[in-house]
Structure 1
């Protein structure tokens, strides 16, 4: 009888731990697994470059599918982890290099380059765990897409 009780307790503990891990989703994932949560492919890429003088940041759009695919291919080697609510800085005055990916449904992913941060629809925050992101590649990507 004691063995059954111990076995039942062990199963309950393991089950509870597994449910918590799945519910919270704080495990390491590939970036593309996070980006694939949208129902349609990305159709627009918006670049935001911080201004040096405190004026409004420079913003331009790119809707070239090959450039969007190039960025996604670059990001496929990175992994992210969802940030816990107490580690999220809710201040949205990020004055850094940002790439926004938008799909046809309006779902939006922001990639904050200097912070190694990906923001989904302004509510879910992910940190790059095997970063930092290759800034040299990103700078070249910015330059090649600058209007």
Structure 2
């Protein structure tokens, strides 16, 4: 009987912990907190300029750690919130200006500028809640890194 009570209490505690973690997962957090949960060192930026007037999409990459740090420092001014599955458009074809951060293991975070959206490994979607992003800064950063 004591064993059943112990297992029941353990199950209740485990369920409460999972519920609290789920609630915290969808709360607004600073970009610095978000990037800490990713727990990786990004080494490369990939810029994608969408197709315009029949010209193909343009993509280029840089692997300058200083530029990666510059972008991350800029993004630390913002807060993000994880989107719930029902808030994500499964048919959303993203054909916009994007910046992707990649690490040596292939993990990536894509920032969709016009939609104030961050996509982690093509699975987890985050909304920039105190956006829009400073487009002037983004354009200067984009142009200064165009190769």
- TM-score interval w.r.t. the shorter chain? 0.7 to 0.9
Once the two structures are superposed, the pairs formed by residues 18-97 of structure 1 within 5 Å of their partners are 19-24=18-23, 25-97=25-97
Distance 2:37 2:69 in 1: 16
Distance 2:68 2:106 in 1: 16
- RMSD after superposition: 1.9
Q: Deviations along 1:75-112, whole A, 9 cap, x unmatched?
A: 00100000011110123521111000001111110000
Could you state the TM-score of these two structures normalised by the residue count of structure 2?
0.82
Q: 8 Å contact 1:49–1:58 — kept in the other structure? A: yes
Distance 1:95 1:20 in 2: 36
Aligned residue in 2 for 1:132: 132
- The structural deviation recorded for 1:31 is 1.4
Distance 1:54 1:32 in 2: 38
Number of equivalenced pairs: 133
| Unmatched tracts of structure 2, length 5 or more | 1-11
